[in-house]
Each structure stands twice: as C-alpha cells, then as structure tokens.
Amino acid sequence: MRLEQVLHEVNVLSRSGPATAEIRSVEFDSRAVGKGSLFMAMRGGTVDGSQFVDAAVAAGAAAVATDAAEKFASLVERHPRLPLLLVPHGREALARLASNLYNHPEELLGLSGVTGTNGKTTTAFLLDAMLREAGRKTVLVGTIEYHVAGDVRASPHTTPESRDLLQLFAEGTQLGATEAVMEVSSHALEQGRVHGLPFDVAIFTNLTQDHLDYHQTMQQYFKAKQRLFDGRLGAPPRIAVINVEDDHGLELALRSREAGAELFSYGLGVGEFRASSIQLRPEGMQFALETPWGSAEIHSELTGRVNVQNMLAAAAAALGRGLSLQQVVDGATALRHVPGRFQTVQSGQPFTVVVDYAHTDDALRNLIAVAREFADAQPKPGRVLTLFGCGGDRDRAKRPRMGKAAGAGSDLCMLTSDNPRSEQPEAILDDVLPGLRESGVRFLVEVDRATAIRRLLREAQAGDIVLIAGKGHEKTQQVGAELLPFDDASVAAEALAALGYLGHGEAR
C-alpha cells in the first residue's frame, strides 16, 4: 500500500524525506520490522520508541513516524533519505495507520467492549457464546485467550495494541466474522490502544480498588473507564450496558446518556434487566431473567450471584446486538465454564476444590461469599478454606485489604505467593498480614505456592470448600524475570492424587 494511503486522516505535524514509499506492514516493535515496514516509534510508559529508529531502519523500515518532537530534527539529520513523520500522539496514530493498512476491518464488525474491575472475562465469554449460538461468527479478545472465527490463540495481553487488535479483526473478517467481543482494560483506555474503534455496545460491570500503582487514585481509574462511554475514543457507543447497583455505574449511566448513548441498565433487583427467583447450587444456577423483551428462565453451569450479574450484562448486550430472548437463553446454557473462573478440580475427594482468578479484595469477598453459601447449605455445614496471595510490582495499598477480605469470610486461610515478580515474596506477605490478623481468622503462611496448595488440601475435610484464588487460568508464575510453569488446577490435581484420591483430576 502506498504511504499516502496508509497516512489517510493521520494527523501529521511535520514530515521530511521522500513523499512516497511502499508500505507492507505497520510495526511498533522494532524487532518485528522488515523490508517495507512503517515503524511507529512511540513513547511508552518506560521506553521511548525513538531510540530504536536506527535499528528499525537497519532492518528495512521504509518509513518512520514518531511522537518525540524533541528528537525529530536529529532523526531527520541521521536519515535524510527516509520518509519521517512527526505525529502528536503515537498510539492514536498507530490505530489510524493500522486501520488504513488493514482496510478498516473494525467497520465490518459489530463491536462490543466490556470494562470494569471484575467480571470482564466471564461477561465477554457469555456474550460471545450467545452470539455464536445464534449462528454469528465472532472474534473474542480478552485475558484468557483470543478466538478468531473459532480458532483459539494465546492471549499475551487483555487488550492488545491497536495494530495487533486490527490484525485480529482483519483475519476474523476474512473468515466471515461479523461480531467482535473484547475486554477493554483501564490501561488500554488510558493509553489510547482502542482509540477510534466504533464500539456499538459498551458494558460496565463494576469498579473496586485495583491498578492504583498505575492510575494513582480511584478517580483517575474511573476516568479511564469512562473513556469507553463518553465519546473521547471518537464516538460514544450506541448502547451503554451499565450495572446500576454499582455507585460508579450510576454516575456512568448519566455520563453515557449525556454523550448520546442509549442506556440499558441492569442489576439483581434494579434496572431494566433484572433477576428474580435465583437458585444457586455448586453445580449451577437458575433464575428468571426479566427484560424489556419479556421474561425467560436461565439455566447455567456457572454459579454465584456475581455470575447472575455477569449473565444480566451479557444478555442485555446480546439483545442490543439483535438476538432474540431464546437465543440468549440458548447461549447461556451452551457456556459450561470459563477457564479459571470458579473452576472445580474433581478427583473423587469428599470436599470441593475451586480454582478462581479472584485477585482483588472485592472479587475475593464475592468468591468466598459464594463458597460460604454452598458450605452452609449442606446438611452438615462445611468450612471455607482459602488460599490467596498478592502480585508483586502492583498496588501495595490493596494488600492488607486482601488479607482482611480473605479472613472475614473464611474458616482457615493460607497466605502464599502469587506472582512476586521483582519483589521479595516474604515482603509481599508482610504487607498482607496486618489485614489478615485484623480479621481474626486462623491462618497459615507458606511462601512456596505448590507447597501451600498441598498443605491446605491436607487440612480439608468432607463437606469443606477449598478456594485456590488469584491465578485462575494462568499457566505460569512470574518470579523475578522468569516465567516458571505453574497451573493451580494441575498442582491441586497432583496433590489430591498424592492424598489417595484417584479420580481424573478433571476441571470444569
């Protein structure tokens, strides 16, 4: 594609060098540059892409764009025969460049975005299942994995950079996809990774403390989430699906309406989309879905009140995308589980073992509440045993809150490592302990996560529910700079086998 075509509607502040070039790809990573690439040398959180321009040129770059105004003159001096472009915002330019190169695949898809602290993944999986059950081909982008018209791929990022996202969309449309469902992280919204994408439906699940290592304050965190709804991405969504039981959701509903979006409000007992006659069991749930389209009975192998809320959000979005109420019901039934979300490990043991991604105090509190309800409902009430930790290089302020939340609802807690990253694991545990002690719960501390899982399972008795929280679907543990193989469900299955439970260790 000619350079001028790739630059269509890109805001260029200054340019030098030849006016023409043939562009084969757009790249933001100099290591991916090849002959004919346009290299977008943009500023990142810790790295300035302009320092890699020479390497990109050596690799065959046909043009370079940068948002480093103070470096532009020196780049022109070093590369006078290369098309060089100065843009005001690197990520916004990258989004437009990639959209032009891939012939605007985002315009061929009904795009639904899900944001919030908790519930994004399950809500996205549910909406994707509903759309697919209705016969539509989809692209799914999120924390656990990517789906491209049925092809399942690894997920390096919850919300990838726009260039990679648009490539996924292009591949999807070539295979017949007409819908895209994606989790939209606060980082992606703040950084402009989804700038210019025409979201038809935007979903807000909730907001609780997380990512303050990046956003600094809850207000800044909320402002990042607002971008999906208030038109700052380019245009507001046609439909805003918002949890009005959340205090931030009430404010967001107002902002969405002011921006021109149609509001679909939901909540367990309030809003246009509600749930009644809720019945929860460890093996699944059922409830009456109340909507402006009428009522329907939902049966699902997912469980817990938080998943009732996720189901309401997905149902509202699906109806907004033109599905019938029956197609919503069929899709809800079709999704049997979401990896790492209340995922049970079954080896014939007389107690329940659950692996879950809960890694905020609110998510942990909700998870324990579900387990407590099930444990108390048995003829002989069981106990709730909770294993958890906190990630390194992340919001330290939430660590004692995690300890307090875990202890408040559990009968026994096991504090252990999560992904310590560059921090010392023992230092992270020390930050959690004040909240855990404040709760008054009996607790154990074991730094090694595999050993901690084995120790906690040895404590379990018939009727208990053992929660292994924090990592969920993850298959690695980050210790320092290393990514070590680690799967909570597999470690639990191996521990159960060592205890004499000889089932298949199947997770569902």
Does residue 507 have a pLDDT over 60? no
Residues 59 and 164 in one domain: no
- List pLDDT tens digits, range 17-33: 999 999 999 999 999 99
Residues 380 and 303 in one domain: no
How many whole angstroms from its chain centre is CA 86? Answer: 32
Q: Which of 55, 76, 101 is the last residue of a domain?
A: 101
Contacts of 320 (CB under 8 A, 6+ apart): 200, 201, 238, 239, 241, 264
Does residue 98 have a pLDDT over 60? yes
- List pLDDT tens digits, range 265-324: 999 989 999 999 999 988 899 999 999 999 999 999 999 899 999 999 999 999 999 999
**CA angle (63 as vertex; 58, 66 as ends), nearest 5:** 100
Does residue 489 contact residue 345 with C-beta atoms inside 8 Å?
yes
Kindly state the DSSP code that residue 40 receives in the 8-state scheme.
E
For the chain, give the percent of residues with pLDDT over 70. 97
In Å, how far are 94, 100, 358, 371 from 389, measured between CA atoms? 37, 44, 10, 18
Residue showing tokens 């109806």:
319
Q: How far apart are CA 241 and CA 229, in angstroms?
A: 10
Number of domains in the chain: 3
Q: How far apart are CA 299 and CA 25, in angstroms?
A: 46
Residues 329 and 389 in one domain: no
Residues 459 and 376 in one domain: yes
Residue 348 is part of which domain span? Answer: 343-507
Q: 35 burial class (0-12, 13-18, 19+ CB within 10 angstroms)?
A: exposed
Does residue 419 contact residue 392 with C-beta atoms inside 8 Å?
yes
Other CB atoms within a 10 A radius of the CB of residue 104 amount to 16
What residue spans of 152-216 are helical by DSSP H? 162-174, 186-191, 212-215
Does residue 24 contact residue 37 with C-beta atoms inside 8 Å?
yes
Q: How far apart are CA 367 and CA 370, in angstroms?
A: 5
| Strand (E) or helix (H) holding 207 | none
Kindly state the DSSP code that residue 341 receives in the 8-state scheme.
B
**CA angle (28 as vertex; 22, 29 as ends), nearest 5:** 110
Does residue 83 have a pLDDT over 50? yes
Residues 71 and 165 in one domain: no
Q: Which of 79, 101, 123 is the last residue of a domain?
A: 101
Residues 477 and 351 in one domain: yes
pTM (two decimals): 0.87
Report the CATH number at residue 60: 3.40.1390.10
Token couple for 56: 């990109």
Does residue 127 contact residue 197 with C-beta atoms inside 8 Å?
no
